[in-house]
Amino acid sequence: MSELLVLDDLGKDYDTDAGPVQVLKHLSLSIEEGEFVAIMGPSGSGKSTLMNILGCLDVPTSGRYLLGGRDTGSLGDLDLAKVRSEVIGFVFQGFNLLPRASLVANVALPLVYQRVGHGIRNERAAAMLQRVGLDKWLNSLPPRISGGQQQRVAIARALVTEPRLILADEPTGNIDTRTGREIMQLFQTINRDSGITLVLVTHDRNVAGYASRLIYLLDGRIHYDGPVDQFREENIT
């Protein structure tokens, strides 16, 4: 197994009116190809900031972030967009679908930026919607389906480019527990069957239980990094 992500002494500061705030402090970790990692931690521990850096939506203030062996710090805007397009798939807490575009159009959207032709685009999007069990609603609009279904659409959209890494930020945060379980099972299947590396941020201990490895952040530092089943929350508090 090769290393897909490597963080080397990574730091991130934010300028606020009250002066600079260190959100991430000297983070070093690596994630291998095919791993399913959950990131937990209390609010303000830096989880979301870490996710944004992993997703190349934000850049670290110090240290290095290597994705697939490439130092992302040396990439320009265009190359970062290319990395987001080809290597990474995003799943957000609020789904972030385009409300006025059909499900097919939503799922096909990442392929637009890979310059895939219209016909092939829709074919692949439809196939992906079938895989997440939504092939009956190809031409519906997102607001017309349930939250759980919208999240499935978002997963299909993340999968359609066949990325190596899927980043999910609180994917079950806006859905009920039962639907959340289905979503997590879907993630597990994707990780097992396609070997796609999954990194997931969550508050929920049960959701994290679907992963194999857990990283617990506290105050911008790694507090725990190891197998999910050996993690005891009592140790933290």
Partner 1 sequence: MILSLLGEALAAMAANRMRTFLTALGILIGVAAVVLMVAIGQGTQTQVGESIASMGSNLLIVRSGASRQGGVRGGTGNMPTLTAMDAQAIGQLSRAALVAPTVIGSVQVVYGPNNWNTSAIGTSAEYLRIRDWRVVEGRTFSESEATSGVRVALMGQEVARQLFGNESPVGKSIRVQRSPFLVIGLLDQKGQSLGGQNQDDMIIAPLVTAQRQLFGTQFQGTVSMVMVQATTTEDMAPLEKSTRELLRQRHHLNTRAEDDFRITNMTEVSETASEVTGMLSILLGAIASISLFVGGIGIMNIMMVSVTERTREIGIRMAIGASRGDILIQFLLESVIITMAGGIAGIATGIGMAFFATHMFDVWTTVTAMPVLLAFFVSVGVGIFFGLYPARKAAQMRPIDALRYQG
* 30, β-bridge pairs: 6
> Can you tell me which of 20, 21, 57, 227 binds partner 1, judged by CB under 8 A?
57
Query: Using the rule CB under 8 A, is 179 a contact of partner 1?
Result: no
Selected range binding partner 1 among 37-45, 130-138, 157-165, 178-186, rule: CB under 8 A: 157-165
Asked if 213 and 226 touch (Cβ cutoff 8 Å), the reply is: yes
Choosing from 28, 30, 114, 189, the residue that interacts with partner 1 (CB under 8 A) is: 114
**CA 157, CA 99: separation in Å to the nearest integer?**
14
Shortest Å distance, C-beta 17 to partner 1: 17
Q: Does 109 bind partner 1 (CB under 8 A)?
A: yes
Show the tokens assigned to 45: 């521990």
Nearest Cα to 34, choosing from 8, 5, 64, 65?
5
Q: Would you count residue 142 as binding partner 1 (CB under 8 A)? A: no
Rule CB under 8 A: say whether 101 interacts with partner 1.
yes
Q: Classify 201 as helix, strand or coil.
A: strand
Determine how many CB atoms are found less than 10 A away from the CB of residue 146: 11
Neighbours of 232 (CB within 10 A): 8
Rounded least distance, CB 227 to partner 1, Å:
30
Report the alpha-carbon distance of residue 115 to residue 157 in Å, rounded: 16
157 binds partner 1 (CB under 8 A): yes
Sites of contact with partner 1 (CB under 8 A)? 52, 55, 57-58, 77-78, 81-82, 84-86, 89-90, 92, 96-98, 100-101, 105, 109-110, 112-118, 121, 157-158, 161
